[in-house]
Amino acid sequence: MARIFNTYGPSMHPHDGRVVSNFAMQALLGEPVTIYGDGQQTRSFCYVDDIVAGLVALMDAADDVTGPVNLGNPDEITILDLARTILDLTGSRARLLFAPLPVDDPVRRCPEISRARSLLGWEPRVSLATGLPQTIDYFASLVERGRAEEPTVDMQPLALEPSAERAAGSPLSASGRAS
């Protein structure tokens, strides 16, 4: 089982509520970049290609590799430094807007990845300095094409009705369990 930590990269939904997409879109649109609290809380961010490589390594691992394996990047950055970096990379003159910190917001989020290193031979390879410009370029292309409000994936809910196959005598019942 994989425990995936903060992931970012191209093809993120521009308004998914994650800090990287929020900051990038606010900066690109010239809106105030919203920081909760004083921005000194830390986060770590793992580029999507690294997460995919970690998942593949876990799927390819021996059967005796069990339990949660943390996949993420242990390099931390303060939220304030992330905001400033994104403003610099976008060339935005947007201002920083400080808002109250939610009560349940942790001061630090950083994965401990020693099991991934030892069991899978995996660790992230793409630094924030490399991955963030690629991610911002993706968001900038959405803004330039006027697609900043459109979902980047089909976000339709799954059908809850039994499929025609199930109704026609499939060994699965309408609940999805074997009959």
pLDDT tens figures, 32-53:
999 999 999 999 999 999 999 9
The first and second tokens of residue 156, run together, are: 């339709």
CB-CB contact of 119 with 59 (8 Å): no
Task: Provide the pLDDT for residue 173.
Answer: 37
- pTM to 2 decimal places: 0.80
pLDDT in tens, 149-175: 644 444 444 444 444 433 444 333 344
Angular region, 30: left φ>0, alpha ψ -120 to 50, beta rest: left
CATH code of domain 2-154: 3.40.50.720
φ and ψ at 143, to 5 degrees?
-65, -45
pLDDT digits (tens, 9 = 90+) for 85-130: 999 999 999 999 999 999 888 889 999 999 999 999 999 999 999 9
Sign of torsion over alpha carbons 111, 117, 121, 127 = positive
Q: Look at the chain and count its residues.
A: 179
